[in-house]
Structure 1
Amino acid sequence: MGLFDFLKKKDETPENNSIKLYAPANGKLVSIDEVSDPVFSQKMMGDGFAVIPTDGKITSPVAGKVLSVFPTQHAVGILLENGVEILLHMGLDTVELNGGPFETAVKEGDEVNENTVVSTVDLAALEAAGKDNAIVVVFTNMDKVADFKLDTTGTISAKAEIGSISANA
């Protein structure tokens, strides 16, 4: 307990700003340190998780608001209600594909949840281009993150609840 914790209001406990995390695709859920790109696996951009997809329908891993859609359509930034920001990155080293295999279905300012299709990814095109198809979810402002829990790994269905994240009060 911190020296000034008595100043915090009761409703500022991390449990009350916990936000559910969902699988963004059907496939295999893995810890971020299993991703083959060291920028992600060494958590240089933040902690998170990834799904190795079995199909190209990608849904939002959280309820929030779209902050940005990269011009190359390979990544989408989402702001959670508790202030945590996530980056949904589709495939590895896919920026150079200039949006080819991605059909992004959201735009900046859109409200999204686990039922929102963010993008449809042509997995065969990624494979043909020699790209890893990992769908990576990274928390990019770790200074805001109080707690991140991944409750499961392994085979997963899109939209399944997989964990939670809470922000510092």
Structure 2
Amino acid sequence: MFGKLKGLFGGSAGISIAAPMAGTVVPLEEVPDPTFAQGILGQGAAILPAEGRVTAPADGTIDVMFDTGHAVSMTTADGAEVLIHVGIDTVQLNGQHYKACCKAGDRVKKGDLLIEFDPEAVKAAGYETVTPVIICNTDRFAAVKTEKTGPVAAGDVLLTLQAK
């Protein structure tokens, strides 16, 4: 009961998930992949990258760093399970144009470098670079709110998660 009262009267601002890269925020529904666009993996937002760096969106632990370097999942210190998937169908590149900068089990701080990639080379290979940022345990939260539209800098608040 008191948790609900705090929410009503401004007690908790929620859990912040930062933009893992600079670029332009795109609504998840506009991502050209139904798994992401329909929210099958969870709610969130996407970023059309302006650079080839992916940073930790919060403090936490890396759960999976894909061998191909195109995606990473982590659990934040607040318990949010975040998937960052750089590009659409980019697993097919077999790691070409991607460099993993962390591994499963690593503890990371917000802003730590997770992945480097070459956005122009990915596009030249025929792949979209739009990057979904998904909260995979969405059902644990009362709401997942996108805080930014348009241009975003790495580290800006992208999503706010409200506890149930």
- TM-score between both structures, scaled by the size of structure 2: 0.88
Residue of structure 2 in register with 1:125 after alignment: 121
Asked whether the 8 Å contact 1:17–1:82 carries over to 2, the reply is: no
Work out which of the residue numbers 79, 91, 96 in structure 1 matches 2:92. 96
Asked whether the 8 Å contact 1:83–1:167 carries over to 2, the reply is: no
Asked whether the 8 Å contact 1:65–1:112 carries over to 2, the reply is: yes
AA paired with 2:116? T
Residue of structure 1 in register with 2:55 after alignment: 59
For 2:161 and 2:109, how far apart are their aligned partners in 1?
15
Counterparts of residues 15-94 of structure 1 (less than 5 Å): 16=12, 18-94=14-90
User: How far apart are residue 17 of structure 1 and its match?
Assistant: 8.3
Asked whether the 8 Å contact 1:83–1:144 carries over to 2, the reply is: no
CA deviation digits over 1:49-104, x for unaligned, max 9? Answer: 11101110111222221111112211111112232211111111011111111111
Pair 1:153-2:149 in alignment: yes
Report how many residues are paired: 161
Q: 1:27 to 1:108 in 2, by over 3 A?
A: same
- TM-score between both structures, scaled by the size of structure 1: 0.85
For 1:48 and 1:163, how far apart are their aligned partners in 2?
7
Asked whether the 8 Å contact 2:20–2:155 carries over to 1, the reply is: yes
For 1:141 and 1:23, how far apart are their aligned partners in 2?
18
> In angstroms, what is the RMSD of aligned CA positions?
2.1
For 2:56 and 2:76, how far apart are their aligned partners in 1?
11
For 1:84 and 1:162, how far apart are their aligned partners in 2?
14
Unmatched tracts of structure 1, length 5 or more: none
